[in-house]
Chain A
Amino acid sequence: AQKVTQAQTEISVVEKEDVTLDCVYETRDTTYYLFWYKQPPSGELVFLIRRNSFDEQNEISGRYSWNFQKSTSSFNFTITASQVVDSAVYFCALSEAGRALTFGSGTRLQVQP
C-alpha cells in the first residue's frame, strides 16, 4: 500500500530564511510518481512538480529545489530565501501505477516578514 508521511505539521520561519519540507513515502512498486502541491489561503491546489521513480535527478526551479532519494524513500522540498508569499500548506503526494493519488497530511509554512 502506498503511504506518504509529512511529519512537520507546521513550520514558521522569518523571511529570507531557507526552509526544507520533509516527505517520506512508502511503496512496494518499482514504478511510482511523486508530487508536490501548494495550497495558498485561497484554497486552490497548485501543482509544483512531478517526478517518476526512475529519475532521481534533483531539480531546481528558481528558489525551489527538490531532493529525491530512493535510498531513504524521501522527496524533500527546499525553499531558498523564503518570502511571505510562500506561506501556504504544502502537500506531498504519491501514486503507484494504476492507483489513485495519495496525499500526505500537509505542512503549513508560515513566513513572517
Chain B
Amino acid sequence: SQTIHQWPATLVQPVGSPLSLECTVEGTSNPNLYWYRQAAGRGLQLLFYSVGIGQISSEVPQNLSASRPQDRQFILSSKKLLLSDSGFYLCAWSVGGLARGADTQYFGPGTRLTVL
C-alpha cells in the first residue's frame, strides 16, 4: 500500500530564515505530487504540483519554491520566510499518468509552520 510522509510535523521559524519541508511517498512510482497551504481556519490553496522529476508548476506567485529531486520526493523551500507564510502545509500524491483533474489526491499528515 502507499504511504506519504511529511516532516517536520511542526516548525517555528523566525522571519527571514530559510525553510525546507520534505515529503516522500512510498509504494508507488511516478506519482503526481502536490503542495498545499491551509491558513488558519481557511480552505486549501494549491501552491505547486509536479508530474515528474524536475517538473514543477507553480499555481501562485510567492516567495516559496518547490523541487523534486527524486521520483517520490517533493521539497518545499523558501530563502526568507515572511509572517504570511505561517500555516499548515500539506503534501499530496495521486496516481501518475492520469489526466489532471481526474486523479484522486491522497494527503500526508501535514507540517504546521509558525513564523514569528
Contact = CB atoms under 8 A, between A and B. Distances in A.
Interface of A: 32-33, 35, 37, 42-47, 50, 52, 91, 95-101, 103-106
Interface residues of B, number: 21
A106 B42 CA distance: 8
B113 interface: no
Given A43-B88, A47-B106, A99 B101 contact: yes
A96 B100 CA distance: 8
B100 A45 contact: no
B36 to A, nearest CB: 9
A104 B43 CA distance: 7
Nearest to A37: B107
Nearest to A4: B43
B23 interface: no
